């Protein structure tokens, strides 16, 4: 990332923050949501990006969408990286575990989803996935349920990527 991109990010984030000091302003932000979508632009000016992190200011409720590089490198939010890795892993093989960070992310997101949202994890699905999270060898029936839950995860996190339809 160039120095000018970093300055752009600092300006944009501080404008949306209560504090006008960069070091204090970046502490006001938390990861709210992540997703993949083609052709987006980061607040820093990097274009195109596809790994988008939605941040929410804990003091004023402002929303900012930035790329995963800015989230990790400058804002210090590292969980997004693990979730994007899980997206790519599950996309390549739906039978693989999404991992604990992505699973925790889906649990938190499910709590905020409307009851009829088809990406919302049920209590049974949460318990099942928690019990089989680290298992590499699953029975045929367990694998079927893992695939179903991973599809929910991908449907929620992968949006409008023409080259990555979810099967």
The backbone torsions φ and ψ at residue 45, rounded to the nearest 5 degrees and listed phi first, read 105, -10
- Output 99-108 pairs: Cβ under 8 A, ≥24 positions apart: 99/133, 100/133, 102/153, 103/129, 103/130, 103/133, 105/34, 105/79, 106/152, 106/153, 106/156
What is this structure's pTM?
Answer: 0.81
Task: Please give the pLDDT value at position 152.
Answer: 94
At 8, phi and psi to the nearest 5?
Answer: -60, -45
pLDDT, tens only, 90-138: 999 999 999 999 999 999 999 989 999 999 999 999 999 999 999 999 9
pLDDT at 161: 56
- Give the mean model confidence (pLDDT) for residues 12-29: 94
Q: CB within 8 A of 111, min separation 6: which ones?
A: none
- Write down the mean pLDDT value for the chain: 90
The terminus-to-terminus CA distance of the chain in angstroms comes to 35
Residue percentage of the chain with pLDDT more than 70: 95
Residue 71's pLDDT is: 87
Domain residue ranges of the chain, discontinuous segments joined by +: 3-77, 92-157
């Amino acid at each position: 990332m160039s120095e000018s991109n970093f300055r752009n990010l600092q300006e944009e984030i501080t404008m949306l923050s209560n504090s006008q000091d960069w070091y204090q302003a970046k502490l006001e932000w938390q990861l709210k949501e992540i997703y993949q979508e083609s052709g987006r632009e980061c607040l820093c000016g990097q274009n195109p990006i596809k790994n988008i992190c939605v941040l929410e200011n804990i003091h004023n409720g402002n929303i900012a969408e930035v790329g995963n590089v800015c989230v990790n490198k400058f804002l210090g939010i590292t969980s997004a990286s693990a979730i994007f890795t899980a997206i790519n892993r599950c996309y390549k093989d739906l039978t693989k575990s999404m991992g604990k960070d992505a699973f925790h992310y889906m649990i938190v997101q499910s709590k905020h989803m409307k009851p009829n949202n088809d990406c919302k994890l049920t209590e049974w699905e949460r318990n099942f996935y928690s019990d089989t999270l680290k298992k590499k060898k699953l029975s045929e029936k367990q694998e079927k349920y893992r695939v179903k839950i991973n599809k929910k995860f991908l449907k929620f996190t992968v949006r409008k990527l023409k080259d990555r339809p979810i099967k």
